[in-house]
Every structure is written in C-alpha cells, then in structure tokens.
Amino acid sequence: EVQLVESGGGLVQPGGSLRLSCAASGFTFSSYWMSWVRQAPGKGLEWVANIKQDGSEKYYVDSVKGRFTISRDNAKNSLYLQMNSLRAEDTAVYYCARRAFGVVVYFDYWGQGTLVTVSS
Amino acid sequence: QTVVTQEPSFSVSPGGTVTLTCGLSSGSVSTSYYPSWYQQTPGQAPRTLIYSTNTRSSGVPDRFSGSILGNKAALTITGAQADDESDYYCVLYMGSGISVFGGGTQLTVL
C-alpha cells in the first residue's frame, strides 16, 4: 500500500525557516517524480514544487522561487521541502504527492498534509 | 501568468447530472494539457478522480467522467449522490515541470 506521511509543520515567525519531510512507503520511491502541493486556510490547492526521480530537475511556482528548496533522499525514501524567508501568505497545509509514473502528468497519491503557520 | 478557471460553485439535485468545467484565461484546453480532476472534502486530502482527460482512477465510480467540451476540460457527474458534495479541482500541465490548479468548484447536492 502506497503511503505518504508528512511531518515538520508548525508555527514559525515571519522570516523564519522550516523543513518539511515526507516519508514514502509501499512503492519504489526512486522511480517517481514527487511534488509538494499546499492549501491556505479556506482556499484552493496550489502546486508548489516538483522534483525528478534523481533530483536532477526541480521546478517551483513563482511565489516560492529563491525561498523554497525541494530535495529528496532516495536511500531514505524521503522527500523534503526547505522553506526559508517565510511569509504570512505561506501559511497552509502542505501535501506531499506522488506524480504518476509515465508520460501522463497527474498526482496519483497524496499524503494527509502538515500545517505550517507563519505568524508572529 | 496562466490562470486555470473553474466555476466557484455549482448545485445539483440528487440523481441529477452536473458538468463542471476547467478553462484557461487565454487559449483552449486540449488533451496535451493532461487535464486531471481531484475531489476534496473538508479536512481531507484530495482524492484523484480523473486523469489524462477521461481516465478514471482506480475505484472511482463510473458516474464520474471526463472530457473536452469546446475549449475546456469537463467533469461530469451523472446521478449525483449526497456524498458527491465536495470541492472539485482540475489541474493542467503547462510543460516544463509546471502544473497549475484551478480555483476549485464547490459542489452542493440538494
């Protein structure tokens, strides 16, 4: 059974940093693109970042470029999101999502999310 | 900046049929955008319904179907049930590793 379990969320002050983790199990982690998707309170879903299987390609939504870094450790079956210079508008539930294998691009499995609150 | 558009809200009667759409602020949606649809109830993670325009994800009832209607992607629910009351999001793949979510449609079944 595919499982994605996020951790690392919490309360952080504006300008602070936080590192999210996603522990993957039930599939060959190193064979899949992985993504972070977030949802601000009462708002819609927003794709944040993608990372290729070997970490050689990374893509970000414009609003987090230069502040967030996606990474992975295939030996540990783990995905990460390093978030620096956090702003109030980064407050959201952050979901780890697996991008389906192959040419067709979509998210086929989701974690339950971890809440990040940026506030003084 | 590309904006993916969805109806903010929609209402359907139990047993009725509803079609939600997913468009672009500029241009037409085609299969090359790999439209996908997700269902989300409050406090829960999204659930994948449809991918590659019209392929149902495993376990999704056949009352959910996807298509291209005119210049938009569409999600049709035929024979709506009370537990279909959810938020529905479409996603379009823009290339270069970038996916964009629509704003979501809040569906009410009453």
User: Does residue B1 have a pLDDT over 80?
Assistant: no
A4-24 pLDDT, tens digit each: 999 999 999 999 999 999 999
B88 shares contact with chain A (CB less than 8 Å)? no
User: Does residue A57 have a pLDDT over 80?
Assistant: yes
Mutate to test the interface with B, among A39, A105, A107 (most CBs of B within 10 A): A105
Q: What is the mean pLDDT of residues A21-32?
A: 97
User: Does residue B97 have a pLDDT over 90?
Assistant: no
B32 shares contact with chain A (CB less than 8 Å)? no
The span from the CA of A40 to the CA of A24, in Å, is 24
Average model confidence (pLDDT) across chain A: 96
Percent of chain A with pLDDT over 90: 95
Q: What is the mean pLDDT of residues B17-40?
A: 96
CA closest to A57 among chain B residues: B97
Q: Do A110 and B101 touch (CB under 8 A)?
A: no
Please tell me which of the candidates A44, A47, A111 has its beta carbon nearest to residue B99. Answer: A47
- Tell me the residue ranges of DSSP E strands in chain B: 4-6, 9-12, 17-24, 36-40, 47-51, 55-56, 64-69, 72-78, 87-95, 98-101, 105-109
Model confidence band, residue B58 (pLDDT cutoffs 50, 70, 90):
very high
